[in-house]
Each structure stands twice: as C-alpha cells, then as structure tokens.
Structure 1
C-alpha cells in the first residue's frame, strides 16, 4: 500500500530504471526521463493536447524532446511534481523560463517573475547595481513578456550612465526599439534631474540676501562681535559691505546665525 501512495522523486526521474507507475518516457539528449501523462497534462496545456488529440505522441510511450537540455527538463519536472519543489535560484529561473513559455505553464511563469522582481529589489537595496545585471534582466523580461520585470528593470537602467549602458554586453542583445526607448528614457531622466538641480540653485540664490542680512544684524547687538569687526576693520568704515561679511566672533552669535539660516531654508 505504501508503495502505491509513494510519488516518484523527479531528482531520480532521469534514471534508466523506470518508476513502477510511469507511463511515458521523455527522451532528452538521448537520456530517458520516466514521467506520467496525467501529471504532465494537468501542468501543461501543450502536453495535454499532445496526449489527447491526434498527435503521434498519444500512442507512443517514448517521446523525443529535441533541442532541450536534460538538466533543464529535470528542473521543470521538479516544479511540475508538487512533492518535489525546492527554492528557486537565478540559475533555475534562467533554465525554466524557455520551457515554461513553450509548454504554457502560466502559474510557474508568474512565480519565476516574482522571484526575479524580489531578487532585483534585494540587489538594489544592497547598493549592488551593475549595469549588466539590470540589462540582462530587461532582456529576459522582453524575451519572455514579463511586464512587471520589464518596468522595474527600465526604472533601474535609466539611472545608469549612458556610456556604461552602451558598453554593457546585454545592451547589444536588446532589439533596436528597446535600445532606442531606453536611451530616450535616459535622456528624459537627465532632463528631469537637470530641472531639479536648477530649482535647487535658484532656491540657494534666493537664500543669499536673507543670510547676509541676518549675519550683519546679529553682530550689531553683540559687543564681542562689534569689537571684533571694529578691530579687524582698522581705520575703515565699520559699515562697509566688506566689513559686514566678516565671520562672527562669539559662539553664541554663530549658533543663533545657524539656527536662523535653517529656518530661512525651511521657509523657502
């Protein structure tokens, strides 16, 4: 009874010795993988059609899967068989996505995209931002129609220096339209950044007269600062603009000055 309930471990599906209840053999790179039609059909509409309609595979017990890698198919089966799933890795996702697309396993495609989104966010939060990593995942997103991953990768890529983007190998893998769009978004990002800097400069320029009037007003009420200005000025008129801009002499005036400057900044 226990043997009947026991499900095969996909890690051993590639073995030459078949499972007792397997009813189909997938041949990949000349190596047999013993599997089950029902499980494959539930997971993939492509397999379901293959086993249900007038395909030659319906009658055959051995099905050749050309242009596939043995380890990639084993990785796919580990996820199709529910008792054999394990944690995803970047390498596993790169193996899975082409097969997931071909066999239309949508739930696994969504899972792979969620993993990549979390991986990129984690890298970005750690300050890890090489252009190759982000551009590579933009290429993967475009190739497999992963819309959320594409949006995130673009947001990160547009902050990378233009020359760095152009010199990154994955950039050349993008199609012409994507490269053009990325450069356009990069230019827009730089224009917005330039606009923010211009506004900050104007704000600082507007701050200067207020700061100067504060600095000249405080010493007029402080004997120490007034004496310091008089001595440093020599025989010059203490009301000259050059004299008024001399540093404050006492710590108390300096502290008052700094506090008022911060208030003026916050009011701008």
Structure 2
C-alpha cells in the first residue's frame, strides 16, 4: 500500500499550464486520457531512452501520439519533475506516482532523485522518535527492491532488521513485506537472525 496521499475528489490536479498549449518549443502532442500535452520530442528523448526509441520507431514523424493506460495527472507530474525549467522536487505526494513512470520510461535521473529524496527523509526522520513508522519504512524497502535502488535498499534493510516482528503492526504482517522479492526477504530474515544471535 502506498504511503503517498491520493488526490481527493474535487482537488485541483498538478499545474499543467506549461503543456496545455502549443509553444515555440513544442513539436509533438502526447494525448493522455483524451487530453493533449504539448511537449518537445528532443527533450523527452534526451531524458528517456524509451521515448528516444519510440520517437525513432513507431512514433516517428507523428504530430500526435496517444498514451494508453496512463493517468493524465500522473503523466503531468512526471513531466513537471523531468522537464526543464520546471524540474519539480520529489515529495511524498508525488513519489509513488513519479517513480513507477520514471522506471517505465528509463528516466534514471528521476529515479536517482526519488532515491535521494527518500534517503534524506530517512535521515531527517532518524532524529524523530517515530523514526519513521514501520509501515512507511517497509514501503520504502518495497520501492527500493522493486525499482532497484541500491543505496536505499542498503539503508532500509539496515533499519528494518531492528523493527518488531511480533504483534499487529510488525514488519512481517505488512502487505508490502509479502511483496518483496525472495532475495530481499531472505536477506532481511538472515540479517535479523544474525542480529538476534549476537
């Protein structure tokens, strides 16, 4: 389960004004949920090998391309984080939206920014009593595992082995712990056993 807040009914979506209309720099329209986003193919190709391949392949020469199975607000969030001059900061509200799309489109710079955001959050939360809540920590472990974020994986494994494994809200009872890869589950379990047997 994601810890990021989901958009409430009636709340405004992300600011899409930079992509709503054609500009001197836009040369292609990406259509998401029937709504146009005016973007520059060179910019997207520069940040994403997946877009580069599409613009040189199936989308070559097309002025308008539809993206199926994507949410408009989510794709706008990705553009806001990736597209100069916006380069919006990653936040808890956007992490679970932006990271999967960055992974899907191979935008390593955004994946790195997501990882750095979580690492900074963990470092900040270390100074707090709740350090962070176990559910949030396991969520970050799940993201690190799923999206191959090595530094974050090291940090979250080190923290999660010190958490409770008994009781209602313990590590192993959380849904996302069950979704971890076999390798990461084994690593967490074995490192925890080593810690207990010291």
2:151 paired residue number: 148
Q: Give, in angstroms, the shift of residue 14 of structure 1.
A: 5.0
Q: Distance in 1 between matches of 2:43 and 2:185?
A: 41
Q: Give, in angstroms, the shift of residue 159 of structure 1.
A: 0.3
Give the structure with the larger helix fraction.
1
Question: Mapping of 1:205-220 within 5 angstroms?
Answer: none
1:43 lines up with 2:47 in the alignment: yes
Q: Deviations over 1:71-122 (max 9, x none)?
A: 1211111122221123320222221111211222222221111111011121
**Do 2:145 and 2:181's aligned partners in 1 also have CA atoms closer than 8 Å?**
no
Q: Deviations over 1:155-193 (max 9, x none)?
A: 10000111211222221222333223212211111112x
**Do 1:39 and 1:80's aligned partners in 2 also have CA atoms closer than 8 Å?**
no
Q: Give, in angstroms, the shift of residue 13 of structure 1.
A: 4.2
Q: Give, in angstroms, the shift of residue 43 of structure 1.
A: 1.7
Which of residues 88, 102, 105 in structure 2 aligns to 1:103? 105
Runs of 4+ more than 4 Å apart:
none
2:141 paired residue number: 138
2:165 paired residue number: 162
Q: What 5-or-longer segments of structure 1 have no aligned partner?
A: 1-9, 193-268
**Do 2:19 and 2:39's aligned partners in 1 also have CA atoms closer than 8 Å?**
no
- Determine which structure has greater relative contact order: mean sequence separation of CA pairs < 8 Å that are 6+ residues apart, divided by chain length: 2
TM-score (norm 1): 0.62
Residues 120 and 59 (structure 1), Cα distance of their counterparts in 2 relative to 1, 3 Å cut: same
**Do 2:81 and 2:89's aligned partners in 1 also have CA atoms closer than 8 Å?**
no
TM-score (norm 2): 0.83
Q: What 5-or-longer segments of structure 2 have no aligned partner?
A: 1-14
Q: Distance in 2 between matches of 1:149 and 1:122?
A: 14
1:121 paired residue number: 123
Q: Distance in 2 between matches of 1:155 and 1:122?
A: 16
Residues 115 and 21 (structure 1), Cα distance of their counterparts in 2 relative to 1, 3 Å cut: closer
2:17 paired residue number: 12
2:183 paired residue number: 177
Which of residues 54, 57, 60 in structure 2 aligns to 1:58? 60
**Do 2:77 and 2:94's aligned partners in 1 also have CA atoms closer than 8 Å?**
yes
Tell me the matched-pair count. 180
Q: Distance in 2 between matches of 1:133 and 1:83?
A: 31
Q: Distance in 1 between matches of 2:184 and 2:107?
A: 26
